[in-house]
């Protein structure tokens, strides 16, 4: 981004100022540390000289003995290092106090999502949204407003809408990454908040909109969602085939052992999305959520992926979030969001019969990208 917007000079100046400020402060600290030990030794030497000089005067006057001078010299040397150590300890305590303040701020943070007490061993996947509203900040407009719909267990739901209509916010609610400010979300007839979040999320396979891949091998990234001992090469390969990325992986010199760099930098956008799909479906979850995860693939590849997912989706509650109608047209039910509100609901055929937003989106996208002929 810096190169694309030709901001190299600005950022070089910024980092130069920061490093110069850091260097100046570091040099000041080094100078203080460099002067500390010589000054301390000089004070110790002066105190010894003063003790001997003043003690000698007292010995000459007959008020002290030579042994008293020796005692004072020993006492001065015995007190010097404890006093110096005290100053050193005070410095360490001050540094620790600054660090502890930052750590305490972190430890005192209260999570927004409070886990329920009921374990979630098995789920059917029947969801019901009842007048759900969502807002991320107290004084900001709601991103979802009084949304109500049902997702029958084992069915598929498509969520479409313009950018900023609240599609990804619905996904956050399904994952319990956010809780509604109003309304209720029911899972199998119970409030979603009553379930333990960890055990609940184990039943969900998510393909996020912003794909994150780790700096590891392709095999490790696909198998990330399940415990290491349960991952086999056969499972990884099958997941890659279902996600239509197997042929791409086999073209790499190291195949599944290819290291892909931080955030999958060595892969294309479409390849990253398909590896992320493979990572989700390898878990064989009860609920599958695809959050606009096919935006970077062409329409032919998209059709192949959706055809492969048909078998994977059997008896699973599946949610497809997309701004492309072609991605959701096969779903059992489709909802259309606009500015946080549910404006249309029905099957692909039912929505096309209405002169609404869904039909307008379908006709516009059909003109831009005609449906591919896979026959």
User: pLDDT tens, 236-251?
Assistant: 888 888 888 888 888 8
Length of the chain in terms of residues written: 375
Domain extent at residue 36? 8-107
131 and 245 assigned to the same domain: yes
Number of structural domains found in the chain: 2
Residues 284, 332 share a domain: yes
Do 141 and 102 share a domain, yes or no? no
- Cβ atoms within 10 Å, residue 314: 9
Residue 331, domain CATH: 3.40.50.300
The answer on 157 and 91 residing in a single domain is no
Is the per-residue pLDDT at 374 higher than 50?
A: no
Does the model's pTM come out above 0.85?
Answer: no
* Vertex 270: Cα angle to 266 and 275 (nearest 5): 75
93 inside domain? yes
Among candidate residues 58, 73, 107, the one where a domain is terminated? 107
Same domain, 158 and 73: no
Specify whether 314 is located in the same domain as 218.
yes
* Element of type H or E holding 35: helix 8-60
Per-residue model confidence as pLDDT tens digits over 36-90: 778 877 877 888 888 888 888 888 888 878 888 888 888 877 777 777 777 778 8
Q: 351 lies in a domain?
A: yes
Q: Are residues 191 and 159 in the same domain?
A: yes
**168 plus 294 within the same structural domain:** yes
Q: Alpha-carbon distance 156 to 314, whole Å?
A: 10
- Indicate the residue among 45, 74, 107 that finishes a domain: 107
Q: Are residues 55 and 201 in the same domain?
A: no
Residues 307, 244 share a domain: yes
Asked if residue 116 belongs to a domain, the reply is no
- List, as one string, the DSSP characters of 205-238: EEE-SS----SSBHHHHHGGGS-GGG--HHHHHH
Q: Is residue 287 part of a domain?
A: yes
Based on the fold, state whether residues 218 and 99 are members of the same structural domain: no
Structural domain includes residue 373: no
Residue-wise pLDDT tens digits, 168-221: 888 889 988 888 888 899 988 888 888 888 888 888 888 887 788 888 888 888
């Amino acid at each position: 981004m810096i190169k694309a917007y030709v901001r190299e000079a600005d950022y070089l100046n910024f980092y130069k100022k920061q490093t110069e400020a850091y260097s100046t402060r570091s040099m000041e600290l080094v100078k203080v540390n460099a002067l500390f030990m010589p000054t301390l030794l000089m004070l110790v030497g002066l105190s010894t000289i003063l003790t001997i000089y003043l003690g000698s005067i007292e010995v000459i006057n007959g008020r002290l003995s030579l042994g008293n001078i020796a005692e004072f010299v020993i006492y001065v040397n015995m007190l010097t290092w404890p006093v110096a150590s005290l100053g050193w300890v005070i410095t360490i305590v001050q540094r620790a106090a600054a660090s502890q303040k930052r750590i305490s701020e972190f430890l005192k943070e209260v999570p927004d999502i409070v886990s329920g007490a009921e374990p979630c061993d098995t789920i059917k996947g029947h969801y019901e949204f009842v007048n759900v509203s969502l807002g991320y900040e107290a004084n900001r407009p709601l991103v979802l407003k009084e949304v109500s719909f049902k997702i029958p267990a084992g069915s598929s739901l498509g969520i479409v809408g313009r950018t900023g209509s609240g599609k990804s916010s619905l996904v956050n609610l399904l994952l319990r990454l956010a809780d509604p400010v109003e309304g209720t979300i029911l899972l199998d007839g119970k409030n979603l908040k009553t379930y333990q979040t960890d055990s609940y999320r184990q039943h969900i396979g998510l393909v996020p909109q912003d794909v994150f891949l780790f700096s590891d091998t392709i095999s490790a990234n696909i198998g990330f969602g399940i415990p290491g001992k349960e991952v086999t090469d056969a499972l990884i390969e099958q997941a890659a085939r279902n996600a239509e990325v197997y042929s791409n992986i086999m073209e790499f010199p190291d195949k599944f052992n290819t290291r892909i760099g931080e955030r999958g930098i060595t892969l294309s956008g479409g390849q990253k999305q398909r590896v992320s799909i493979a990572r989700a479906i390898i878990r064989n979850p009860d609920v599958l959520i695809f959050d606009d995860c096919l935006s970077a693939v062409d329409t032919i590849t998209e059709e192949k992926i959706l055809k492969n997912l048909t078998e994977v989706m059997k008896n699973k509650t599946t949610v497809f979030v997309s701004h492309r109608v072609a991605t959701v047209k096969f779903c059992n039910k489709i909802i259309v969001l606009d500015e946080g509100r549910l404006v249309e609901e029905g099957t692909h055929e039912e929505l096309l019969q209405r002169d609404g937003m869904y039909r307008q989106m379908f006709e516009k996208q059909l003109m831009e990208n005609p449906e591919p002929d896979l026959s």
